[in-house]
Amino acid sequence: MRFCYFLTFENASPEARLSPSDKAGIASFVAATPALSHAEMHTPATASDIYTADGPSPQLALQLYFDDLLELEAAISPNGYLLALADRSAWPSLSGAKATQQAMYARHFEIAKAPPPMRPRCSFLVHYPGPAEDFNTWFNHYVASHPPIMRRFPQIRQIEILSRVDWIDAMPFARASHMQRNRVVFDSPEALTAALQSPVRHEMRQDYHRFPPFAGGSFHFPALTETIKPSRAR
């Protein structure tokens, strides 16, 4: 689960949702991706944060994980399996959505004694467009300082931090180039809201103000998260 292909569909209508048939169809399609090691499907949720309100969550976000970057690139090559995701006639409820893509390296941080998460879960998807004045300094500070605070969120289940990589593709989607993304996972939107209203959230904000210089701000979106298990043998 080293490399993650992030595919995001954002609709001009904040009320847009995947139809049940499209959701099931996309999940089944993604599960059959060659060399896929794991996948997560995110759909809109509602939670309340003390500090941020960045608008509606994406209609759909997919995180598709591969053990090798070349396996990821094969899936999005000119003859790649995932090209079919661009056929909006197959998924009509996405017809009005704008898609962006990004390949990233995923770092996962252990949480001691965290019980198995419930299904579905609730993620807080965050991205930093950048740039940083000195990305190495910025990212080193983030990785060293932010996860220890995140671990103190009540009822947190997972922590993931992703950094950008260069990649080759033939997908007809705009390329995102966010310098970093992260995801924290809870059992429900209510549990996420409780964490975002807790004293730990103030600690997170204080650390945010200690970040080395960077531009672009940060954007935060709650999402219901369901795991897609690969159906093909690796």
CB count within 10 Å of CB 34 equals 14
Domain boundaries, the chain: 3-228
Partners of 39 in beta bridges: 64, 228
For residue 167, the model assigns a pLDDT of: 98
> For 95-132, how does the pLDDT look when each residue is reduced to its tens digit (9 = 90+)?
989 999 999 999 999 887 777 766 789 999 999 999 99
For residue 1, the model assigns a pLDDT of: 64
Q: Tell me how far apart the alpha carbons of residues 32 and 12 are, in angstroms, rounded to a whole number.
A: 30
Q: Judge whether 103 and 69 are in contact, CB under 8 Å.
A: yes
For residue 37, the model assigns a pLDDT of: 96
HEC assignment per residue over 113-139:
CCCCCCCCEEEEEEEECCCECCHHHHH
Q: Judge whether 82 and 158 are in contact, CB under 8 Å.
A: no
Q: Which of 97, 77, 80, 87 is nearest to 168 (CA)?
A: 77
Q: Which of 85, 93, 87, 114 is nearest to 18 (CA)?
A: 93
Q: What average pLDDT does the segment 28-35 reach?
A: 97
User: What percent of the chain stands above pLDDT 90?
Assistant: 90
Long-range contacts of 23-32 (CB under 8 A, 24+ apart): 25/90, 25/91, 26/60, 26/62, 26/85, 26/91, 27/226, 27/228, 28/231, 29/84, 29/85, 30/62, 30/64, 30/228, 31/228, 31/229, 31/230, 31/231, 31/232, 32/81, 32/230, 32/231, 32/232
Q: In this structure, which topology does domain 3-228 adopt according to CATH?
A: Alpha-Beta Plaits (3.30.70)
Sign, Cα dihedral of 99, 53, 212, 156: negative
Find tokens 């970093």 and name the residue: 180
39 versus 1: the higher-pLDDT residue is: 39
Q: Tell me how far apart the alpha carbons of residues 178 and 216 are, in angstroms, rounded to a whole number.
A: 9
For residue 69, the model assigns a pLDDT of: 97
Q: Which residues contact 173 (CB under 8 A, 6 or more apart)?
A: 7, 86, 99, 100, 101
Look at residue 198 and give its three-state secondary structure. Answer: coil
For residue 233, the model assigns a pLDDT of: 59
Partners of 64 in beta bridges: 5, 39
For residue 184, the model assigns a pLDDT of: 97
Q: What average pLDDT does the segment 176-185 reach?
A: 97
For residue 114, the model assigns a pLDDT of: 73
> For 32-76, how does the pLDDT look when each residue is reduced to its tens digit (9 = 90+)?
999 999 999 999 999 999 999 999 999 999 999 999 999 999 999
- What is the pLDDT confidence band of residue 88, given thresholds at 50, 70 and 90? confident
